[in-house]
Amino acid sequence: MKKQRRYFRKGDVIIYSIILTIFITLGFQITKFKSVDASSAEVYVNNQLKYVYPLEVQEKDIFVPTDIGGVNIKIKDKKIRVTTSNSPLKLNVKQGWISQPGEVIIGVPDRLIVKVVGQRKEEDVDFIIK
């Protein structure tokens, strides 16, 4: 008569339950993170901040002069994109709409950067180093 093998021991069950508790706790902590809403877009030309536009629901067309002629930018539904450019490959036009804080459109020949920034709140600041 063969002896039956036990696959789980008492210690295994304890270890698995501790690991499961850790993952559940981390899952709840991740859902508590605050998402930052996009509030404005910063437009840099030649590595200098030139314009700051609020992201609005209403449609707005903007012309930004650059070294090789300029680009047209469209703001609509709290999103922003480059619609036309004089660069040869037009990669900044192909990047499409951006709307989340931290997203960036980069136009190398235009020397243009369009960056979406979130709204800062004073209560979100933990400390300031001077």
The CATH number of whichever domain residue 90 belongs to comes to 2.60.320.10
Q: Please compute the mean of the pLDDT values over residues 7-11 and round it to a whole number.
A: 77
Whether 74 maps to a domain, the answer reads: yes
**Is residue 49 in a domain?**
yes
Phi-psi region of 86 (alpha: psi -120 to 50; beta: other; left: phi over 0): alpha
Residue 91 lies in a domain: yes
For the whole prediction, is pTM greater than 0.85? no
**Which position has the higher pLDDT, 15 or 120?**
15
- Please report whether residue 125 resides in a domain: no
Decide if pLDDT at 99 tops 80.
yes
Q: What is residue 39's predicted lDDT score, i.e. its pLDDT?
A: 86
Cα 89 to Cα 58: distance, rounded to the nearest angstrom: 29
Number of separate domains in the chain: 1
At 31, is the pLDDT very low, low, confident or very high (cuts 50, 70, 90)? Answer: confident
Q: Taking residues 62-91, what's their average pLDDT?
A: 92
Is 70:5 a contact under the CB 8 Å cutoff? Answer: no
**How far does the chain reach from its first CA to its final CA, in angstroms?**
78
pLDDT attached to residue 76: 92
